[in-house]
Structure 1
Amino acid sequence: MTARREPAVPVAPGSVPGLGHVPALLRDPLGFLGSLSHLGGVVQIRLGPRVVCVVTDATLVHTLLVALAHDCPRGAVQSTLKTAFGDGLLMSEGQAHRNRRRTIQPVFGPDRMAAYVPVMQQVAEERVGRWQAGQPLDVAKEMNHLALEIVTRALFGARLEEEATLAFHRALPDMVKGQIVQSLYPHPAFARVPLPVNRRFDAAVRVLNRVVDQAVGSTGGQAAADGTLTALLRGAVDPVSGLPLTEADVRSEAITMFGAGTETVSSTLTWLIQELLDHPEAAARVLAELDEQLEPDADLTPEALDRLTYTRSVAQEVLRLHTPNAFLMRTATKQVELGPYTVPAGTELLYSLTALHRDPALYPDPLRFDPERGQPGSAAGVGRHAFLPFGAGKHKCIGEAFAWAELAVAAATILRRWRLSPIPGERAREVVWTAVQAQGLQIRIEPRTDDRRPALPALAALSAPAGVGLVVPAGPVVPVGAAEVSR
Structure 2
Amino acid sequence: MPLPTQTLLAETQKRIVSPRTTPPSAPTTHAAVPPLAPGALPGLGHAAALLRDPLGFLGSLARHGGVVRIRLGPRTVCVVTDARLVHTLLVALAHDCPRGAVQDTLKTAFGDGLLMSEGQAHRDRRRIIQPAFGADRMAGYLSVMHQVTEERAGRWRPGQVLDVAKEMNHLALEIVTRSLFGARLSEDATLAFHRALPDLVKGQIVQSLYPHPAFARLPLPVNRRFDAAVRVLNRVVDQAVNGRAGTARTERRGGTLPALLRAATDPATGRPLTEADVRSEAITMFGAGTETVSTTLTWLLDELLRHPEVEARVLAELDEHLPAGTTPTPEALARLTYTRSVTQEVVRLHAPNAFLMRTAQVPVNLGPYRIPAGTELLYSLTALHRDPVRYDEPLSFRPERWQDGGGLGRPSFLPFGAGKHKCIGEAFAWAELTVAAAAILRRWRPVAVPGARAREVVWTTVQAHGLRVRLAPRADALTAAHGTA
Scaled by the length of structure 1, the TM-score of the pair is 0.90
Compute the displacement of 1:224 (Å). 9.9
Q: Which of 317, 328, 345 is the matching residue for 2:373?
A: 345
| Aligned ranges 1:182-197 → 2 under 5 Å | 182-197=207-222
Contact conserved, 2:96 with 2:362, CA < 8 A, in 1? yes
Note the 1:3-152 alignment, pairs <5 A. 4-152=29-177
CA contact (8 A) 2:31 2:365 kept: no
Which runs of at least 4 in structure 1 moved beyond 6 Å after TM superposition? 219-225, 455-458
Distance 1:431 1:23, change over 3 A: same
Query: How far apart are the structure 1 equivalents of 2:184 and 2:308?
Result: 36
| 2: CA distance, partners of 1:37 / 1:3 | 20
- CA RMSD, aligned part only? 2.1
Whole-Å Cα distance in 2 between the matches of residues 383 and 306 of structure 1? 17
Structure 1 residue 406 and structure 2 residue 432: aligned?
A: yes
What secondary structure is seen at the aligned counterpart in 2 of 1:198? helix
Percent sequence identity is: 76
2:277 matches 1:252: no
* Whole-Å separation in 2 of the counterparts to 1:455 and 1:233: 52
Q: RCO greater where, 1 or 2, for CA within 8 Å and sep 6 or more?
A: 2
CA deviation string 1:46-84 (max 9, x = no partner): 111111100000100000000000000000010010011
1:218/1:3 Cα in 2 relative to 1: closer, same or farther (>3 Å)? closer
Give CA deviations for 1:193-248 in whole Å, capped at 9, x if unaligned.
11111111111111111110110010899999821100000111001211000000
Question: Amino acid of the residue matched to residue 68 of structure 1?
Answer: L
CA distance in 1, matches of 2:469, 2:269: 54
Contact 1:284 1:456 in 2 (8 A): no
**Alpha-carbon separation, structure 1, partners of 2:111 and 2:304:** 39
Aligned residue in 1 for 2:232:
207
* 1:231-280 deviation line (CA, Å, top 9, x unaligned): 00011100121100000000000000000000000000000000000111
CA gap of 1:455–1:250, structure 2 versus 1, over 3 A, is farther
Partner-residue secondary structure (3-state), 1:288: helix
**Match 2:452 to one of 422, 426, 435:** 426
CA change 1:449–1:41 in 2 (3 A) is same
Q: Aligned equivalents of 1:303 and 1:440: distance in 2?
A: 36
Cα distance per residue 1:103-127 (max 9 Å; x no partner): 0000001111011100111111111
Which one-letter code corresponds to 2:401 in the other structure?
R
**Cα deviation digits, residues 308-354 of structure 1 (max 9, x gap):** 11111100000000001110100001110101101011111000111
CA distance in 2 between partners of 1:260 and 1:5 (Å): 41
Distance 1:133 1:368 in 2: 32
Counterparts of residues 218-367 of structure 1 (less than 5 Å): 218=243, 226-367=254-395
The number of aligned residues is 456
2:377 and 2:475 map into 1 onto residues whose CA distance is 53
TM-aligned CA distance change 1:273 to 1:339, over 3 Å: same
Question: Do 2:182 and 2:253's aligned partners in 1 also have CA atoms closer than 8 Å?
Answer: no
* Alignment counterpart, residue 461 of structure 2, candidates 430, 435, 439: 435
SS in 2 for 1:312: helix
SS in 2 for 1:444: strand
Contact residue 219 and residue 230 of structure 1 kept, 8 A? no
> Quick one: distance in 2 between partners of 1:204 and 1:17?
34
Q: Is the contact between residue 50 and residue 57 of structure 2 (CA under 8 Å) also seen in structure 1?
A: yes
Cα distance in 2 between the residues matched to 1:298 and 1:138 = 28
> How far apart are the structure 1 equivalents of 2:471 and 2:130?
39
State the secondary structure of the residue aligned to 1:376.
helix
In 2, are the aligned partners of 1:89 and 1:101 still within 8 Å (CA)? yes
SS in 2 for 1:4: coil
Counterpart CA distance in 2 for 1:168 and 1:182 is 21
> 1:217 corresponds to which residue?
242
Residues 321 and 112 (structure 1), Cα distance of their counterparts in 2 relative to 1, 3 Å cut: same
> 1-side partners of 2:403 and 2:230: how far apart?
41
429-438 or 302-311: bigger deviation: 302-311
1:302, distance to aligned residue in structure 2 (A):
1.4
State the secondary structure of the residue aligned to 2:56.
Answer: helix
Q: Secondary structure at the match of 2:344?
A: helix
Asked if 2 retains the 8 angstrom alpha-carbon contact of 1:33 and 1:352, the reply is yes
Secondary structure class of the residue paired with 2:64: coil
Assess, with a 3 A threshold, how the Cα gap between structure 1 residues 202 and 447 changes in structure 2: closer, same or farther.
same
Q: Superposition pairs for residues 371-390 of structure 1, below 5 Å? A: 371-376=399-404, 381=407, 384-390=410-416
User: Matched residues in 2 for 1:8 and 1:72: separation?
Assistant: 18
Q: Which amino acid aligns with 1:81?
A: L
